Amino acid sequence: MAQVAHFTSIPVAAGERLCTKHEFARMLEVSAASILQINLGRVGGLLEAKKIASVAEARSAQIALHLYCGPVVAAANIRIATCSANFLIFESIGTIEGSYMNAVGGRSRATPLHLQVGECCFAALAL
């Protein structure tokens, strides 16, 4: 992957299947990606994700959080995004609404360019 990244001017994003901060650090060391796709469920939660985001920031890399399974994980991703200067985008296959959001009694509206955080996300943090 480092060879591919070396021969293109397009930023390479990778990492949603990685599990440890050491794997992400190695990816940055070999310049295999400039955008890290952190999956909070795989890396061990908020603290480990923040450590990975900080390592990425120190190496001028951005993070694209992999948002994949409901309001609690969405709230955790939003928390990391709001405290990481190198946050780029949420990577998701859908919007943060529907049956998951009904479970916490709220809604957020997501569009490709803007995420409006509603009360439900902060309520999910308290769960």
Inform me whether the pLDDT recorded for 113 exceeds 50. no
Q: Which domain holds residue 16?
A: 2-94
Q: Supply the DSSP string of 23-91, one letter for each residue.
A: HHHHHHHTT--SEE---HHHHTSHHHHHHHHHHHHHTT-EEEEE--S-HHHHHHHHHHHHT-TTEEEEE
In a domain, 123, yes or no: no
Task: Check if the beta carbon of residue 43 is closer than 8 Å to that of residue 52.
Answer: yes
In a domain, 126, yes or no: no
pLDDT at site 52: 97
Our count of domains for the chain comes to: 1
pLDDT at site 123: 37
Mean pLDDT of the chain: 80
Q: What is the CATH number of the domain that holds 35?
A: 3.20.20.120
Inform me whether the pLDDT recorded for 111 exceeds 50. no
What does the pLDDT look like over 17-44, one tens digit per residue?
999 999 999 999 999 999 999 999 899 9
Euclidean distance between CA atoms 102 and 99, whole angstroms: 5
Distances, alpha carbon 109 to alpha carbons 12, 98, 118, in Å: 28, 11, 8
pLDDT at site 36: 97
pLDDT at site 122: 39
- Report pTM: 0.75
Euclidean distance between CA atoms 60 and 72, whole angstroms: 29
